[in-house]
Amino acid sequence: MIQLHDLQFEPFISEAEIEEAIAKVAISLNEEYKGQNPVFVGVLNGAFMFASDVIKRFEGDCEVSFVKLGSYEGTSTTGTVKTLVGLNQKLKGRKVIILEDIVDTGNTLEEINRILEIEEVADYQVATLFFKPEAYKKDFEIKFKGLEIPNKFIVGYGLDYDGLGRNLTQVYKRKE
């Protein structure tokens, strides 16, 4: 059990399970993008660990960029996604892989889709470490999924609760 701010969290997903999920995503990406030069776009802050681990396992040429979007306050989504830091490179005509820590409602993906349409990318796919099918409300395809999980609030491995918990090597769920 751990305490972050005013909430308690209990162990949920082990470091070994996370490593296995990342390896699965990386194998699929290597097969899909063999011989190509995709641009990985990590969604900050949460995806920094996942992005690093996936990109290290990518066997071909690639480029890396980041965007910073925000939609959470405390343990719940505000329903509004704000672009806090935009893209720093042009993506017109490029193949892009979005690296997300977690996909729940899909609101962040909607904003990313808007950004990528403006950028006129050739194609993009989404790779996420965690996917919450119960919470997902959009129609964007999530092609590469590490783990499908229930709709619980989690922290660790890049995910936080009001700034704390990102550095944890395993994932914890809110104690009910």
In-domain check, residue 30: no
In-domain check, residue 71: yes
Q: Domain residues for 9?
A: 2-25+37-174
- Taking only the tens place, the pLDDT of each residue in 5-45 is 999 999 999 999 999 999 999 999 999 999 999 999 999 98
In-domain check, residue 6: yes
pLDDT at residue 91 greater than cutoff 70: yes
74 pLDDT band (50/70/90 cuts)?
low
Phi, psi at 23, each rounded to 5°: -60, -40
Question: Given this model, what pLDDT does residue 3 score?
Answer: 98
pLDDT at residue 59 greater than cutoff 80: yes
Question: How is residue 51 written in tokens?
Answer: 């992005």
Count: domains in the chain: 1
75 pLDDT band (50/70/90 cuts)?
low
- Taking only the tens place, the pLDDT of each residue in 126-152 is 999 999 999 999 999 999 999 999 999
Cα pseudo-dihedral 73, 71, 166, 16, rounded to 10 = 120
Annotation marks residue 104 as catalytic: yes
In-domain check, residue 77: yes
From 6, 53, 101, 104, the catalytic residue:
104
Residue 24: is it exposed, middle or buried by C-beta count within 10 angstroms (0-12/13-18/19+)? Answer: middle
Per-position DSSP letters for 158-176, written without gaps between them: TB-BTTBSTT-SSEEEE--
Cα separation, 124 vs 97, in Å, equals 6
pLDDT at residue 170 greater than cutoff 70: yes
Share of the chain above pLDDT 70, in %: 90
In this structure, what CATH number is given to the domain that contains residue 140?
3.40.50.2020
In-domain check, residue 31: no
pLDDT at residue 84 greater than cutoff 60: no
